[in-house]
Structure 1
Amino acid sequence: MRSGFTETLRGLLDRPLASYYLLLSSSALLLTIGLVMVFSATMVESYSENGDAFAIVVRQATWALVGLVGFWIAQRLPARTYRSVSRPLLVFSVILGLILLAPNFGNSVVGTDDLWIHLGPVQFQPGELAKFALLLWVADSLVRLGPRIASWRDLAVPLFPIAGLSMIIIGYSDLGTMLIIVAMFIGLLWSAGVPMRILGTLFAIALAGSALLIAFEGYRMERIVSFNRPEDFADGWGYQAIQGYYAIADGGWFGVGLGESRQKWEWLPNGHNDFIFALIAEELGVVGCLVILALFGVLVYTGFRIARRSADPFRKLVAAGVTMWLAGQAFINIGGVLGLIPITGVPLPFISDGGTALVVVLAAVGMLAGFARAEPDAAVALRARNPSRLVRFLWAPLPPAPAGAESGSSSKQTSGSRTPSG
């Protein structure tokens, strides 16, 4: 029985478009769960403030629609477009980060507030865009360097000063986002084959820089100090952690029921955002948490699978970078909620309330979906289907044919053999 299931699973994973469908299904399920949990977490607050229990989740659903449009656009773009926009996008994100550092910038129409820039009724986080921009720029730079990545001097001149400046600007106001960017940056260098001696030095520099940023802001040090003994800081930074533990303990194996949380009645701060995993544990229990972790596991597996199967070096690096970004952010968020690491205040991808984070994540996953369609076997299968122009316009154009695929396809058709399909 077990061998039969294994063979069936292996057969499904061997299909040309397995990466694409795994990515779509896991992302769609996480997004759906996120919208449901945002509604559950905000219904009391939303009704109290607006007289409408659906006000906040409708806003989040609107951002989700914007993000799906971003997914659709990103899926259609070729790799050369991402490489060409990487530099101007990085410059734009650095400018936004500098604006964020100016608390008195703007007027009643444009202004800043902690991590957000406000444009009238709309607010967005520059740090979320910086993740995407730096990912594309670093991957493009590493591909251009080629074998010279083994040289510290060749890496340092174009790469380290700009990347370091971007991280400092973002980290000054948002340490959690900077830690995600640092992990993604070092992961990209490791994926490209940068020697370990360089990676070790960069890791030490990153630790020292993080320590300085923590020491510079008193509240960050208080979070670190209250990490091991939150009960000693119940009136301050330990309060959120303690309420999160109560939510997790109340949930048990199967939870108290969807929508039945007690902690969302103004007990747990940011239960719809940073601590939404605690409310998932309370309402859906350990089983619900395991489902979330399993879906993230499928997403991470699929991202690394796309990176491994991509023929283009840029696609390979970007796919690995997006995967490390999402995996790192999920680990930092869930680890903070469970008390494994200090709380940093980053959202849980796909699930936490927050428009900018959701739009950027969906656009990044859309890019990853385009790369999945460009896997050599997937590209051959899609081109063999020869979808209509309407389908290509409404969903996605055909990926480029891999090298040697045309002649191989012609010979197969002549011999009467079948072309694999997804």
Structure 2
Amino acid sequence: MKKFYKMPFYLFFILFSIVSSYGQNIVPPKELSAASGSIEKIEAANRWIDHFSNQDLVELPVGIRNTVNNVQYSIGITKAIFSPEYTTLTVFCRVDIPQKDKNGQPMQLFFGADDVKLSHQGGIIGEAKLVLLGNVDIPFSENKWQLSLYGGFEMATGHVNDLTYVTIDCDGFKEMKISGAVEFSRDLILPIENLQTGEVDENKTKIPKTYYNGNTYDVPNRVRGDFSFTASDWNDILVNVSLQPFVLKDKRNGKDFDGNFQFLVSNAVLDLSDLKNDPTVIFPDYYTKNALLVPSPEAWKGVFIQTFDVGLPKEFQTTDTASNKGRIHLGAQNLIIDKYGVSGTFYANNVFPLDRGITGQEKSWAYSLDHIDVTIAANTFVKANLNGEILLPITKAATENKSTTADPKKNSD
């Protein structure tokens, strides 16, 4: 705390307050909480103007307020240093986002800078960036997943990075750059630690994470995907992310995850927009039948995976995978991850021929997998259809066509 008192006075006016998701409540220092009164002072005095100019800096603080797609951006000047060349401003921005904290109140993000230069002719010199102070977690969909924003200001050192920030001009908010990660609750999916062995982090390994107050906390290891993009407003975010390999949380066959499908994602779309969906998004029939797109498909939020790789459970073996202890992998498409879990259908034809498929490493039967399709709805396997041939041990000359539909109630894939 002693380091805090050594900070420049303007930092008392630049903060953000946030409640982390997944039940973790991180209380900001009381001094920073008191500093939020600077915005309240502007509001109480109604000192909002339409355009920043040197004439408006006689009495501070003063601010500009913009509303874009129901998100409010409040920008205030708390300090001005005049010089012959320009005026140097201390500026902060409060963004009132629609996401709620654990008390059901809308959350706020605070950004700030102390080196914004205003020319005497009235324009801002260069690009005015106001950085987010420290990392922040924003819960979505009843804490099923969250955004972790990477802040630009390090409390411990005072160093500034261009990670998450807003840019402004004399008329107020222009756009925002957001750097961070999407993280999914361990109640939905679990990260794969080792693809070759299929080892899954089921012991809730803790990883260190530093928050805005400069403290580092151990948080659960979750499936995550990093991103960085520039948006015109908070409510219109569509961005590509690359997720870690994962499995569904619930084990399928036996005491380990060998009986689970593995999901390997190279490219996914994170949709936080209230206005539109990515044109590649295809919602499964399950969503329409169960009214999961209320109030509208455009308001849906989550991750859509157009193409991905799926590793079949280890019960599906060929001579190759048996020798290298690997899995059979297929190309697949159209998978959704949101507050309901993982949903979608994937299928493949001519997976492996009769001379390669084996039922086991000892006393095995030869078989082929000519077709497979699997349907998952809200993290639950609905059905799996299999078609192929099996070579019975009574004769090497005859084959029997076999087509099956797996019954999830019997725990069969």
Which structure's relative contact order is higher, taking Cα pairs within 8 Å and 6+ residues apart? 1
Q: Normalising TM by the smaller chain, what interval?
A: under 0.3
Larger relative helix fraction? 1
TM-score of the aligned structures, taking structure 2 as reference length: 0.23
Q: TM-score, normalised by structure 1?
A: 0.23
Larger Rg: 2
More strand by share: 2
